[in-house]
Amino acid sequence: MPRRDDLKRILLIGSGPIVIGQGAEFDYSGTQAAKALREEGYEVILVNSNPATIMTDPELADRTYIEPVTPEFVELIIARERPDALLPTMGGQTALNVAMTLHERGVLEKYGVELIGANARAIAVAEDRKLFGEAMERIGLRCPQGRIATTWEEALEIAEWTGFPAIIRPAFTLGGSGGGIAYNREEYERIVKRGLAESPISQVLIERSLIGWKEYELEVMRDSVDNVVIICSIENIDPMGVHTGDSITCAPAMTLSDREYQAMRDAALKVIREIGVAAGGCNIQFAVNPANGEMVVIEMNPRVSRSSALASKATGFAIARIGTKLAVGYRLDEIPNDITKTTPASFEPVLDYVVVKVPRFAFEKFPGADPVLTTQMKSVGESMAIGRTFKEAFQKGLRALETGRAGWVVGERPVDDRVADDSLAAVEQALAKPVPERVFQIKRALLHGMSVEELHRRTGVDPWFLRQFEELVEAERAYAALAEVDAVSLRHMKRMGFSDRQLAALRKETEGAARTRRWALGVRPSYKMVDTCAGEFPSNTPYLYSSYDEESEAPRTGKPSVIILGSGPNRIGQGVEFDYCCVRAALALREAGYETIMVNSNPETVSTDYDTSDKLYFEPLTFEDVLEIVEREQPLGVIVQLGGQTPLKLVKPLEAAGVRILGTSPDAIDIAEDRKRFEALARELGVMQPPNGTATSVPEAVAIAERIGYPVLVRPSYVLGGRAMEIVYDEPSLREYFERAVRVSEERPVLVDAFLEDAFEADVDALSDGKTVVIGGVMQHIEDAGIHSGDSACVLPPHRIAKEHQDIMRAHTIAFAKALGVVGLINVQYAVKDGVVYVIEVNPRASRTVPFVSKTIGRPLASLAARVMLGETLEQLGYTQEIVAPYVAVKEAVFPFTKFREFDPILGPEMRSTGEVMGISRHFGEAFGKSQLAAGNGLPREGHVMLTVNKSDKAGAVPIARRFRDMGFGLVATHGTADHLESVGIASRRVFKVSEGRPHGIDLMVNGEIQLLINTPLGKSAQRDDYSMRQAAVANRVPYTTTLSGADAACAAIESARAHPASVKSLQEWQAELR
Amino acid sequence: MTRAPHHAAPGFLLLEDGTLFLGRLHAPLAAPAVAEVVFTTSMSGYQETFTDPSYRGQIVVMTASMIGNYGVNTQDLESPIPQVAAVIVRELSATHSNWRAEQGLGEWLASAQIPVLSEVDTRRLTRHLRTVGVMRGLVGAGTEPSAVDRTLLAGCPSMAGLDLASRVSTTTRYDWGAADAPHHIVAYDFGIKRNILRMFEARGCRVTVVPSTTPAAEVLAMQPDGVFLSNGPGDPEAVTYAPANIRAIVEAGVPVFGICLGHQLLGLTFGGRTVKLPYGHRGGNHPVKVLGSGEVLITSQNHGFAVEGTAEGIPGAPDLQVTHVNLNDGTVEGLRHRTRPVFGVQYHPEAAPGPHDAVPHFDEFLTSLGSGATA
């Protein structure tokens, strides 16, 4: 059955911004889907609000709508485009939910749009806990014993039956959002009520706990004639109870005998046939009782997922790509296996290696947030590693995480592993609840001599994994005790995945010395191919991983090559936007005739698609791993400026090892990052900096703060994403900061800057070929100074910064680029206060706004940057002049506050957003409104606005209040704010602050009487007072803003929404205006 | 319990083309193992593989890199003892964990005196066999083959022309399944796997397993409802005594079903030929296309020889029709007699190890029982 000719135009829905539970994997799947559809000659209409994605680049689709992924906006797109079909399975839960709503509202029927890939019935049955349970019963499979509750009263009755702990899973939410494990009645009430609130259909499934059961996933594909294949089995090292996204997992399954595996496979076939995924992929989760092999089906996702991205990378079988082809009618046996090219896709990949995935968390960004891992996903990214053995892959996966650990290494201090002290008792206590550091706690326990049996009893981790860990501990001891290291013992250790750094530590030597010895002994890695077939058939796709084995398969073409270092696991501060830059560079350099070599460890991304570059090394981005690849490949040079901080950290050692860094010189990077050298440069160029100093001790910091005056902005040097960056208002707070957040020393200096209160901030991205510098864009932050640039909304072109100030910024940027000899990208951050332009920082590398600017101005900045790094000039590339769009683009950040309820959802100098969205319009108001809607902060058109602002904002709040009043909004204010408004003649309904009495603001929000919250805190003490109010806004989904500038923008957006009906326009149409 | 690989003694695999692979031996070697070296890509089911009589006389390379993780048990045996000449793996798990496990793999193989060479670059070995073709090899102790080893290897007979089936076949007749079962099947044992017997038993059959050389008249005298031709090792053309028996049974109108070697013997009986494949099909992921429908079965396979032919037919055997082909290389995977209730499949519907997609062939055979007389 070949492709369907009755379809011409297909709508593809993306997943929107990166949030916890829905990450970069959907850029990977969406990009593959778009490519697959166009390859088949279909016209592709794409919608996604996330500008930091490859899929939203205009070349990927015929028309790309960067619009909110909501039913309303997708309906507008359908009405305008009249697609024949909609593919809803590539954009995560978001796309699936939008498609279902459109189906239920009759929109699809009205416009004659067919759902392909998965039909409405299949989606409904898979997602609705009750229907799913019934379906499983029909095919003789068991689900966890669970019952459905739609009210708290029902849930109470169910609790009598389940007892505690009980598992709560809300229906139709992503990443298990709103779910959890309740160990007692109190927790139960809290989680159930939250789950009911978050489920769009107010339904939660309450299950008896299967804590301690083994957890598995199968990735399954089915074609239109009912052929089904299993692509990959995945086993979770953490047992049931920890969300699979938060578990360390491995592929293939390690501890299943064939009989058990085949029983699971049979069950998977039954499930996909019963649920009836039309054609495409799905994943099915199982739990197995370790005591007797009893198996239950946990859930099924009728779409591609984080796991399918992992499975694609783990096997080389491109699930999203093949799934798309199945959705348009092909059968599995009609599609070639892309990797071998000689065999068909209707087979089951086999692995001759082990893959380990390790989640990366961001709890350091959310002090106070509960780090216990439950059924609700909390990780923000992941690394994947491939090794020939489990131990090798496991250790590679841990060092690929880039958390500073060289592998499976316990933290320097007990607290680093969330253990109270060095005692066994403390470890025992810590093991009681799963936390991100659990594998390190396990190592501590093993070092204390705890037996595998006891560890198993305490953690539920299968003894097989624990014994693998124990073997590592034994190997470490043996190696440390060796009289002399020879090639045999060293190779033995490397085959277990030990890094040079780990080995050096074991023998108390330097990493360099360890490597010198290793090289002298001739112990070097070989590179093996991931080929889907365990070597049974020839393969020409150089998808490679290292292993200490005999034969290397990495082909040598002799073509001049370039290595691009990726950005590793996603984390807050370093997300998909850097992957975007790396992918653009790979594509641009391939086009220019170079052999492109990608190195990355993140399975979610487009960069780790074997299709993106000529060679892919799926490897940790540590110095050791990168150096071995460089030694083998002998490239023209290495690109380090596109992958964020990860590759930048390698610049110094790589340079010292004689590796050529392409583009901006390492010395220029150092000038920008070294406070003293940078200050000298700024002075030389005559650019103002906020008064500042560098402290290497607490007294020094206090002295600097005294000199420049409070408030001050403090942060450790060399950080990305504003890690541990805070605004401090007085000396006690400054001292407290050093107690709590940061250790300061000669090696770890802390930067102290005057904080420019109420300043405007701006970001400038520019491109330089070493001679010519061209501005990419000047972006004005919506939020005032003090909010991390990654967390602030921004607008391009600026709407409030005076032309003269913009021009000063342009001139400064050009001066910096020239002075630093930048070849490639540069990003400069400015603040404007009282008519003076200050430079905040200079980053001679790709910034996270590069994709946003590129989309706005219609020029692929990262592609151009790659070309200039290889010697072309901007003139040759035809980019010689700044492009200022005749429309307005707004970027808004998206936050994970719903996942960290315990944390105050407030913005500050430390970045906390996980993703971003973009809104484009003729007018600022509409563009901002779209960005808010896309970010899940949809603004009201009517109702009540509650204002509670700090003293210094009282005057500024007046015009905003007036505008809301004039639009017919009711005003609600706390006493101080209300008094001030009254004094200028604006009436408002008074409401208590939380501490003052009832009814207070929270009561009103819970009752649905507040449609927008404007709450500006300032200073630590004021913040605490409003803390619960903001949390209530998050919990009750009341849009809120914590800055007056944000409130002003929201006001503009609402005015615009009331004046103009919503409209949509494709990026290609917008960009056509630039010509 | 098996000791950690690092402490095991050095060992090697020498191939007949002189290529040497170093590894570690897990138990002292009584004598070098000399046999044909083949690889299987099955990711699970090592115990079933090692006890499958079709692997008799072969050194088996596991491409899956972690072997032994779930131990061994007495339920997953495909014959009472390990049949392989030696096992080659990347890592033999020093420990195991599974609720059914009774013993560690290394321990179990050691007690059966089957050498295990681990820490081998099995991917390099697999790629070598794939490129050059399956060949003989010797597993020995130490780091270098001795002159004796080389002589031994040179003297190892080639698989071609080797009748191994009579060596693994039962020498005495035995029954499997309930005495009062509704159906009675006679199974020729060329190296039968137990799961085939379990499959028949589960479908209400009593199976009389007979030695591979049992004359047709003896089988017919038992008045079976159907006759089954089992899987087995070696070169099908060397099983010279089988075709005459099979022909007599078919002509008597008894339904016949063959798996693997049994399927190849059906091909030979009706005039076809068998050929040795360059490196065989061994694994649990082979796509087989059902001709005339869009259906694709993911099958378990283990064979070095195949019936010569294509989807169009089998040269020299006009009575046979090809029903299944392999999607990877187009080889014949299933055949059927045009007028008689006789069919065979090259792959293993009984799985063990492997996927169950082809299990319905047993039901198909059962349906044909009793249809023989009227066919």
Chain A contact for B327, CB < 8 A? yes
State the CATH number of the domain containing residue B207: 3.40.50.880
Using the 3D structure, point to which of A734, A755, A776 is the last residue of a domain.
A755
- Select the residue from B66, B73, B285 to test the A interface by mutation, using most A Cβ atoms within 10 A: B66
Q: Taking a C-beta distance cutoff of 8 angstroms, is the pair A978, A990 a contact? A: yes
- Encode pLDDT of A133-185 as tens digits: 999 999 999 888 788 899 999 999 888 888 888 889 888 776 667 788 888 88
- Put simply, the chain A residues between 137 and 196 with a CB less than 8 A from any chain B CB are none
Question: What is the predicted ipTM?
Answer: 0.96
Contact B43 A467 (CB under 8 A): no
pLDDT at position B33: 96
With beta carbons less than 8 A apart as the criterion, state whether A1001 and A1032 touch.
Answer: yes
In angstroms, the CA A23 to CA A940 distance is 28
Is residue B159 included in any domain, yes or no?
no
- Residues of B with catalytic function: 260, 348, 350
B207 and B148 within one domain: no
- pLDDT the model gives residue A718: 64
The verdict on A645 and A591 lying in the same domain is: yes
Q: Which of A262, A331, A389 sits opposite B91 (nearest CB)?
A: A389
Q: Are B334 and B344 in contact (CB under 8 A)?
A: yes
| Tens-digit pLDDT profile for residues B192-213 | 999 999 999 999 999 999 999 9
Give tens-digit pLDDT for A486-536: 999 999 999 999 999 999 999 999 999 999 999 999 999 999 999 999 999
- The mean per-residue pLDDT over the stretch B266-274 comes to 98
Residues 697-756, chain A, touching B (beta carbon < 8 A): none
**Contact at CB, A536 and B96, closer than 8 angstroms:** no
* B252 shares its domain with B141: no
Phi, psi (degrees; rounded to nearest 5) at A856? -70, -40
Asked whether the predicted pLDDT for residue A364 surpasses 90, the reply is no
Residue B281 lies in a domain: yes
Note whether B39 and B112 are same-domain residues: yes
Tokens encoding B115: 């050498």
The answer, for A35 touching chain B at a CB cutoff of 8 Å, is no
With 70 as the cut, is the pLDDT of residue A1020 above it? no
Tell me the pLDDT tens digit for each residue of A449-489.
Answer: 999 999 999 999 999 999 999 999 999 999 999 999 999 99
Domain that holds residue A627: 547-670
Interface of A with B in 348-407 (CB under 8 A): 348-354, 388-390
CATH code: domain of residue B22: 3.50.30.20
Q: Spell out the residues 6+ positions from residue B102 whose beta carbon is closer than 8 angstroms to its own.
A: B71, B72, B73, B74
Number of domains in chain A: 6
A373: domain CATH number is: 1.10.1030.10
B chain contacts of residue A471, beta-carbon cutoff 8 Å:
4, 94
Same domain, A457 and A507: yes
Interface contact B41-A350, CB threshold 8 A: yes
B43 → closest Cβ in A342, A350, A390: A350
Least confident window among A405-414, A1039-1048, B236-245, B303-312 = A1039-1048
Query: Does A227 touch chain B if contact means CB atoms closer than 8 Å?
Result: yes
Over residues A219-253, the pLDDT tens digits come to 999 999 999 999 999 999 999 989 999 999 999 99
Whether A481 and chain B come into contact, CB under 8 Å, resolves to no
B197 is a domain residue: yes
In this prediction, residue A720 has a pLDDT band, given cuts at 50, 70 and 90, of: low
Which of B129, B154, B179 is the last residue in one of the domains? Answer: B154
Q: Cα A897 from chain centroid?
A: 14
- For a pLDDT cut of 90, what percent of chain A falls above it? 77
- Indicate yes or no: CB of A536 within 8 angstroms of CB of B66: no
Residue B155's Cβ-count burial label (10 Å; 0-12, 13-18, 19+) is: exposed
Show the DSSP H helices in A83-167 as ranges: 92-104, 107-110, 120-127, 129-138, 152-162
Please give the residue range of the domain that contains residue B249: 165-368
Residues A315 and A412 in one domain: no
Q: Which domain CATH number covers A714?
A: 3.30.1490.20
Taking alpha carbons only, the member of A532, A651, A650, A542 closest to residue A596 is A542
CA distance, residue B46 to nearest chain A CA (Å): 8
Sign of CA dihedral A531, A537, A538, A540: negative
Kindly state whether residues B82 and B216 are assigned to the same domain.
Answer: no
Q: Which of B95, B100, B124 has the CB atom closest to A257's CB atom?
A: B100
All residues of chain A having their beta carbon less than 8 Å from the beta carbon of residue B127 are: 535, 551, 553
B204 and B89 part of one domain: no
Q: In this structure, what token pair is assigned to residue B310?
A: 């294509």
What CATH number has the domain bearing residue A604?
3.40.50.20
**What is the per-residue pLDDT for A7?**
97
For testing contact with chain B, the best of A496, A526, A536, A550 (most B CBs within 10 A): A536
Q: What is the mean pLDDT of residues A399-421?
A: 96
Task: Tell me the three state secondary structure of residue A911.
Answer: coil
Instruction: Compute the radius of gyration of chain A from its Cα atoms.
Output: 28
Q: What is the CATH number of the domain that holds A194?
A: 3.30.470.20
**Mean pLDDT, residues B16-24 taken together:** 97
Q: Is B346's Cβ below 8 Å from some Cβ in A?
A: no
Cis, peptide link before residue A252, omega less than 30° from 0: yes
CB B372 within 8 A of CB B254: yes
B160 in a structural domain: no
What percent of chain B has pLDDT above 70?
97
Same domain assignment for residues A619 and A494: no
